[in-house]
């Protein structure tokens, strides 16, 4: 039985191994009736946990609690449906009252099996991690060299992290958020230690550098702010440094955990289509790279595909090449190949034709920023896929963790900032030639180019949003039904 409590006490929160669910009075009220109805079943689960880990109650304190709220009832259903083994309960009070109360966590361990993890040549990797021998070194998979070379890059300064994000050594909403979290940890390591004021000023300045690298993806901005808030609230400089480390780890672990839950929720959509097709292959079209390379592990839009494939469901992915950087052709195809998932790379403008001829059952894409009203910004070209899907009656879903919602933006088309990148990315293309990665000019030498990195798909074209809490309509009402605690904090 894993020592989850030890990880929690030390703030080394590995949410792949443990989920911590915190409930307060405001979060509880919408679920009070259902929670009371399930009281007996939940009590039995909690009694078991107490028997196993009684000694943890004395050593844990609520200040280290992480993760999201309003999930005790859904966690019970998750445990029941997926036969997960609970192992830990801390500070739980029964009967359910209006007092701020419950914390529960459990291993994500399946009876008689194990969860899928992303592998490269059979070995599990995350996209970002700390060097096991030197905790001051952050390591990443340098995606510029994929699919031709597998290169691990060391990052030791904030400038190196900034460059890695801006120049797309790493990319994807969740991953650059995690990188920003680790970037702030590196900032804490190198900031002056003789004055708390100067220490915090240094971190704030470094945070602004990180936020300026990729303006569209909100995960980056939220990760920086989360670090600033947590570090500012900590005690002396030593505690602030430990907080920077634990918060960076928590951001990364939550991203992996949320992505796996997205996979579980999206799996049901694919399973439903498979049943309608009497077990014939489900053809999924995706755009850009919303797989594990874009996040810490699992991915968003591709996570349900991995779980479907792992569950024995016949699934095939149409992979848009995704000009101008070809993240689909280079990255999505590579990771699908590594996991053994059937796929076909297609030119960007092929999707509409496939849909017209009944060759696409489902479109799932990721997103770099989604408004609480359901508008979704994603890699340029996503909007055109949504239009084609709408015209041909093909379900179009956006998969995202809650960290990608923007609760301060209502109109995505008018308000989401759209990054414009260097025109050279359009004018040139890179590929493997005689064993070397080379760039080739595509356009006339004097022709200018425009390089808008993202577009916004309006909510009316989106069938639903697949999140870690479930699937909802792409609407204000649908989103807030899953995230009721955001009603008071959203911008009206």
Give 446: exposed, middle or buried? Use CB within 10 Å, 0-12, 13-18, 19+: exposed
Cα distance between residue 210 and residue 248, in whole Å: 14
3-class state of residue 323 by DSSP: coil
Residue of 257, 368, 375, 406 marked catalytic: 368
Nearest to 4 by CA among 73, 84, 60: 60
- Gyration radius from the chain CA atoms: 22
Distance CA 305, CA 328 (A): 15
Bond into 311 cis (ω within 30): no
Element (H, E) at 432: strand 428-433
Q: Tokens 């479907």 sit at which residue?
A: 308
The angle at the Cα of 1, spanning 109 to 36, to the nearest 5 degrees, equals 65
> 439 - beta bridge partners?
430
Query: Do residues 258 and 175 touch, judged by C-beta distance below 8 A?
Result: no
Rounded to whole angstroms, how far apart are CA atoms 78 and 113? 16
CA–CA gap between residue 481 and residue 490 (Å, rounded)? 13
Distance of alpha carbon 205 from alpha carbon 200, whole angstroms:
9
Whether the CB-CB separation of 348 and 449 falls below 8 Å is answered with no
- Beta strands across the sheet bearing 103-110: 21-22, 103-110, 84-90
Conformational region of residue 301, where left means phi above 0, alpha means psi within -120 to 50, and beta covers everything else: alpha
Angle between helices 158-166 and 196-211 (to 10 degrees): 10
142 is catalytic: no
Whole-angstrom Cα distance, residue 83 to residue 77?
A: 10
Active-site residues: which are they?
A: 368
């Amino acid at each position: 039985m894993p020592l989850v409590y030890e990880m929690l006490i030390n703030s080394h929160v590995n949410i792949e191994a443990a989920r911590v669910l915190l409930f307060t009075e405001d979060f509880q009220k919408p679920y009070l009736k259902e929670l009371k109805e399930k009281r007996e079943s939940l009590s039995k689960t909690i009694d078991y946990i107490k028997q196993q880990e009684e000694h943890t109650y004395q050593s844990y304190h609520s200040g280290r609690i992480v993760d999201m709220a309003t999930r005790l009832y859904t966690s019970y259903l998750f445990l029941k449906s997926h036969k997960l083994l609970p192992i830990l309960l801390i500070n739980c009070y029964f009967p359910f009252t209006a007092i701020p109360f419950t914390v529960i966590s459990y291993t994500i361990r399946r009876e008689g099996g194990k969860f899928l993890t992303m592998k490269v040549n059979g070995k599990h990797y995350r996209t970002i991690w700390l060097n096991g021998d030197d905790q001051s070194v952050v390591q990443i998979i340098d995606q510029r060299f994929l699919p031709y070379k597998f290169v691990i890059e060391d990052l030791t300064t904030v400038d190196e992290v900034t460059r890695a994000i801006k120049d797309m050594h790493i990319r994807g909403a969740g991953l650059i958020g995690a990188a920003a979290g680790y970037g702030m940890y590196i900032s804490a390591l190198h900031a002056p230690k003789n004055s708390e004021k100067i220490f915090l000023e240094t971190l704030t300045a470094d945070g602004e550098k990180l936020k300026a690298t990729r303006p569209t993806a909100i995960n980056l901005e939220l990760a920086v702010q989360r670090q600033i808030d947590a570090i500012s609230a900590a005690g002396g400089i030593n505690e602030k440094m430990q907080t920077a480390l634990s918060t960076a780890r928590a951001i990364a672990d939550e991203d992996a955990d949320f992505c796996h839950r997205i996979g579980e929720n999206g799996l049901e959509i694919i399973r439903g289509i498979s049943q309608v097709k009497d077990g014939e292959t489900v053809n999924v079209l995706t755009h850009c790279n919303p797989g594990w390379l874009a996040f810490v592990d699992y991915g968003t839009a591709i996570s349900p595909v991995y779980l479907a494939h792992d569950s024995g469901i016949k699934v095939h992915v149409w992979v848009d090449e995704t000009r101008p950087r070809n993240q689909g052709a280079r990255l999505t195809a590579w990771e699908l190949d590594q996991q053994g998932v059937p796929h076909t790379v297609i030119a960007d403008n092929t999707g509409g034709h496939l849909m017209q001829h009944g060759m696409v059952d489902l479109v799932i894409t990721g997103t770099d920023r989604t408004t609480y009203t359901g508008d979704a910004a994603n890699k340029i070209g996503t909007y055109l896929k949504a239009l084609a899907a709408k015209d041909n009656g093909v379900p179009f879903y956006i998969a995202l963790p809650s960290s990608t919602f923007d609760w301060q933006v209502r109109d995505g088309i008018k308000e989401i900032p759209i990054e414009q990148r260097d025109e050279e990315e359009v004018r040139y293309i890179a590929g493997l030639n005689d064993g070397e990665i080379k760039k080739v000019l595509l356009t006339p030498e004097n022709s200018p180019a425009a390089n808008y990195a993202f577009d916004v798909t309006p909510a009316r074209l989106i069938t639903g949003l697949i999140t870690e809490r479930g699937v909802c309509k792409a609407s204000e009402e649908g989103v807030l039904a899953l995230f009721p605690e955001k009603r008071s904090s959203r911008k009206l």
